A and B are shown apart, each in its own frame.
Chain A
Amino acid sequence: MAGEAHPQTGHETHEHGHFGPEMWVIPERSGLVAEVTEKSQAGSGLLRVVFITGGVLTVLGIVGFVLKLATAGFSDHRAWGFYVAAFAFVFTLTASAPLAACAFRFTKSHWRRPLSRIAEIFSLVSLVNILLFIPALIALPDIGVMTDSGEAMVRRSIWFQELNNPAGWLMAAMVGLAFCSLAILWLSAMPDMAQSRGLVSGFKASFYQRLAGGWYGTKRQWQIQKAGLAILGAFYFMLVVFVQFLIVSDFAMAMIPGWKDSILPPFYTVISFQSGLALILVAAYALRRWGGYREYIGQAPFWSASKVLLGLTLLHTYHLFAFFITYWYGRLEVEQAILNYLMFDAYIGIFWAQLFFTFFIPFPILVSNHARRQGWGAPLAAVFILVGLMLWHVRIFAAAFAAAPADLHGLYFLPSEAFALPALLLPAPAATFPDLWDIFMLLGGVGIVLLMFRVGTMLLPPLSMWEVKEGSMYQRVDTLIRGRYLVLAKPE
């Protein structure tokens, strides 16, 4: 809004100077729908860059995957640690991104409005997640079924030896998740598609007509839409937490013999929220800075979201510490071996790098009011956090897959056999370094997210127009005593 008179307040606001109440105002523009629809039809330089980068990286990833398959095959799961890390990273990022929209809609935070659609667009990646999940499931070694003699190859798992191979259930959970998140996207975008269906042509017109043809914005439709979003949001929230619990315990915890860590699923969930919010902030910043959405995405989302991101960053570190101190103090042989393995011996470099990227660097940025007000503070911290969390996934998932060879999962006779671990853990897996195909696959994970974001913005404008319009109705700047403040309406 630099240098431009604000339509409601008449005040002139500046990007870097004035932090009055106007900073919070959600822009009201009469031609919002037409402008945004046109903008999204036209695309932009940023989105072209995203498309090309995403495309190239995705191709690299596919190449890496094919070559990995050709060289390693699926016989030894240890070869697939980095692939699973890449999948888990993509999954973690994108499954929780739509949650940000749901959660802040639930808390009725006004600042979320410009961010909602950006968050929900990442629902589309859930389709890719299903595809990416298949090789991970194939690579996952069988749990093994207990025989009477107890001699079968068995690893501990949350399926308690009831299932030899939980792939079906895991896949069902994944599909359910995708279905639910797409339903949220559809429901949330319906009013916008209905509004712009007259403004677009070609494929999009029929696409919008098909998906939002029946929407006329009656009171009843709005009620159903809002109630549906609330219920789906709550359901999706629980489903995400549950699937994360399944994935992190089956693909990480159960893969390291003797690792029993009840905080890992909550920890993974916190990490997921952190990464989802970080992803949204980076995307929103890019769209605002280079994508031409400056007028529609104000400064307020960054200021407010950065506080949430700060909270999640602190929670991340808190969970890490709670895990660490319990194992450290417990001093059981198996716990020491696992601490050594994940934090000190093989993966010490990646551990410290991850800690710096997820805590020591973003924390000072996020506590600084100055950095957060500038708008770039939170996205900058978010970039570091995203890099750090990618390292986290490598540290946990790649390490877990490398922890023990396929034929050494016979761990039923715990704890006496778990005690066997140090001998088994310490000499065998030094840090597994990624080969070129592993790196390609990690990059491909980043690429697929970028590519799907571009595909999403082709279908839908990355701005929740109805929410922004609603937000601009619920606000005004008014005088209280001597100062001017933002007034927010709070309809039930």
Chain B
Amino acid sequence: MQEGKVLPAAQINRDLLRPILETPRWYWPVVSLLGMIVLAAAVVVGIMIDQGLGWATGLNYKVVWGFFITNFVFWIGISHAGVMLSAILRLAKAEWRRPATRAAEVLTIFSLMTAMIMPIIHTGRPWRILYWAFPYDFARGVWPNIRTPLVWDPSAILTYLTSSTLFVIIALVPDFAVLRDRTTGWPKIVYTMLAMGWEGNPRQWKLQIIAGVLLSALILPVFVSVHSIVSWDFGMAVAIKSWHSTVFAPYFVVGAVHSGVSAVVFAMILLRWAYGWQDYIRHEHIDALGRLLIVVATGWFYFLVMEIIFGIYGLEGDELAVRALQFLPGDHGVAYNVWMIIFVGITYFLPVILWLPRAWRRNLWIMSTACISVNIGMWLERYLLFVPGQANKQFQTFTWNDYLPQWPEALIVGATFAFVSMLMLLFSRAFPLVPLYDIKEGDILKTEMQIGRRTVPATFRED
């Protein structure tokens, strides 16, 4: 499957370190623009904390979790790309993972950080949030209530954040050393400290590889548990009919991988275009990721169907009311059924059709379209899963209500995308977003084999 040529190590270093050693011309304008969006959102968040959720959101006495929680789950979902691509594919010895790993892991960290902002600013009194998350009793004699999914959440997310940060740092150490040797002045001091005396001797490599494999295996349970627990925020709620479904945990995990891997593919296409990394992020990689995505998307679709079928299966009046709100045209203000059709179309059918032909998988424009459409769809998925259930809670039709998001919510949600992009760009200014050593290792393992009259690419098996 290898298509690219084996490049000399010096050229790999030169190409992949270019964004760090020489800043591209577009870099600072783009970062400033993103920074301004983030700043605007930060101001709005400030006003919101001062004025209250009443000012900023369209939430009402019925629908109390809206855009912010949707966005929280969305970013948690994106964060699942990192482990999927580096840990699982590393354990599965998939060669094509190599250029994608770092970007995916970094995206994991930044999206987790972004995700954690959302539930904090969505609370009524965010300044008291420390009571909630930290197992420290503040002399009140009251500890966090470990029975609630809202306490399982921060525990799982912080564990995930810690372990994936470790994962990134371990993978970065050899690259820190390369940077240490190629910089001067204060950056050199920083990189020297970060490289922790890396010389690239066999013992260090052995330790680095063992640490990587060990973390890959240990991070997997965390990976599964994070989104399962996030799904249980909803799955445990008996009062909202469409939420209390046993399938939520695997459904959310697969959906997270679906949106996360799509996001990584799009990020890689952007990187390839922005930094001219055609030799590193090649069509074969995008192609392989596309094939993986077909499988993931179909698995996700299966869980979606299960969730819907067994929602209706009960034939319970109050659940049917929620489903009717989701699927049937009605006299309500928001046409959830239209959104539902759009969501299933752009999350499953459109992208999978675009991924099926090999030529389309290798067309970066088509690939970008499919991946963006998946992510818009997955955002909608969460919204359509959370809001209709709250709008039609139980049989008490007297209190049925709807939700219309307001501009501050939309701005804050939009700014989270700018925030993650900005962090990714800032990261790429300081550290290589495509792992140098991983690419070089892949090149070393590359070889050829003569079968009959054909010469076929081959690889040395890892381990």
**Do A and B touch, yes or no (CB under 8 Å, in the complex)?**
yes
**Known contacts A480-B460, A485-B461, A487-B449: A263-B247 contact under CB 8 Å:** yes
**With an 8 A cutoff between CB atoms, is A325 at the interface?**
yes
Known A487-B449, A491-B451: A325·B232 in contact at CB below 8 Å: yes
Q: Residue A480 contacts which of B2, B249, B298, B444 (CB distance < 8 angstroms)?
A: B444
Q: Is A492 an interface residue (CB 8 A)?
A: yes
List the A side residues contacting B248 at CB < 8 Å. Answer: 322, 326
B234-277 interface code vs A (CB 8 A; 1 in, 0 out) = 01101000001111111000000000000000000000000000
Asked if B303 contacts A266 (CB within 8 A), the reply is yes
Chain A residues with Cβ below 8 Å from B302 are: 241, 266
Asked if A492 and B1 sit within 8 Å, CB to CB, the answer is yes
| A487 and B315 contact, Cβ closer than 8 Å, known pairs A265-B306, A319-B250 | no
Q: Is the CB of A330 within 8 A of B2?
A: no
Contacts of A160 in B (CB 8 A): 312-313, 315
* B316 at interface, CB cutoff 8 A: yes
| Beta-carbon nearest neighbor of A106 in chain B | B295
**Residue A21 at the B interface, CB < 8 A?**
yes
Is A39 in contact with chain B by the CB < 8 A criterion? no
A72 within 8 A of B: no
Q: In the complex, what residue of chain A is closest to B447 when comparing beta carbons? A: A487
Q: What is the minimal beta-carbon distance from B412 to any residue of chain A, in angstroms?
A: 31
Bound CA span A478–B461, Å: 10
Interface presence of B42 (CB below 8 A): no
Interface majority SS on A: helix, strand, loop or mixed? mixed
Q: Report if A74 contacts B (CB, 8 A).
A: no
- Please give the distance in Å from B294's CB to the nearest CB on chain A: 10
Q: Is B309 a contact partner of A263 (Cβ separation < 8 A)?
A: no
Question: When chains A and B are docked, how far (Å) is the Cα of A464 from the Cα of B195?
Answer: 51
Please state if B250 and A263 are interface contacts (CB–CB under 8 Å). Answer: yes
C-beta contact mask, A315-351 vs B, less than 8 Å → 1, else 0?
Answer: 0001100110111011110000000000000000000
Are A156 and B457 touching (Cβ within 8 A)? no
Determine the interface band of chain B, counting residues with CB < 8 A from chain A: 35 or more
B159 within 8 A of partner (CB): no
Question: Which residues of the other chain, B, contact A327 by a CB distance below 8 angstroms?
Answer: 246
Query: Is B449 a contact partner of A489 (Cβ separation < 8 A)?
Result: yes
Cβ of A218 within 8 Å of any chain B Cβ, yes or no, is no
Say whether B246 contacts A261, CB under 8 Å.
yes
Q: In the complex the two chains form, what is the Cα distance from A329 to B236 in whole Å?
A: 6
Interface membership of A16, Cβ < 8 A = no
| Chain B residue contacts of A21, Cβ below 8 A | 461
Least CB distance, A171 to chain B, in whole angstroms: 21
How many angstroms from the CA of A325 to the CA of B249 in the assembled complex? 10
Q: Is the CB of A262 within 8 A of B451?
A: no
B209 close to chain A: CB less than 8 A: no
* B447 A478 Cβ-Cβ under 8 A: yes
B326 within 8 A of A: no
The answer on a CB contact under 8 Å between B456 and A491 is: yes
| B309:A415 contact, CB within 8 angstroms | no
Question: Whole-angstrom distance from the CB of A472 to the nearest CB of chain B?
Answer: 11
Name the CB-closest residue of B to A264: B246
Chain B residues, Cβ within 8 Å of A156:
313-315
Q: Which residues of A contact B2 (CB under 8 A)?
A: 490
A476 pairs with B449, CB closer than 8 A: yes
Known contacts: A24-B461, A322-B228, A489-B456. The answer to whether A414 contacts B316 by CB under 8 A is yes
A-side contacts of B192, CB under 8 Å: none
What residues of chain A lie closer than 8 Å to B298, measured between beta carbons? 238
Given A158-B309, A262-B307, A262-B311: A326 and B246 within 8 A (CB)?
yes
Contacts of A490 in B (CB 8 A): 1-2, 95, 456-459
* Least CB separation from A260: chain B residue: B314
- Chain B residues lying within 8 Å of A245, measured Cβ to Cβ, are 306
Among A323, A326, A473, chain B packs the most CB atoms within 10 A around the CB of A326
B299 to chain A, nearest CB (A): 9
Q: Which residues of A contact B445 (CB under 8 A)?
A: 480
A21-B461, A415-B314, A476-B449 given; name 6 further pairs at CB < 8 Å: A322-B248, A330-B244, A478-B447, A487-B447, A489-B449, A489-B456
> Which B residues fall within an 8 A CB radius of A?
1-2, 91, 95, 224, 228, 232, 235-236, 238, 244-250, 298, 302-303, 306-307, 309-316, 444-445, 447, 449, 451, 454, 456-461
In the assembled complex, 30 residue pairs joining A and B whose CB atoms fall closer than 8 Å, in A order, are A156-B314, A157-B313, A158-B313, A261-B310, A262-B245, A262-B309, A263-B246, A263-B247, A263-B250, A266-B302, A318-B228, A322-B248, A322-B250, A326-B248, A326-B249, A327-B246, A331-B238, A414-B315, A474-B449, A476-B449, A478-B460, A480-B445, A486-B461, A488-B461, A489-B449, A489-B451, A489-B457, A489-B458, A490-B458, A491-B457
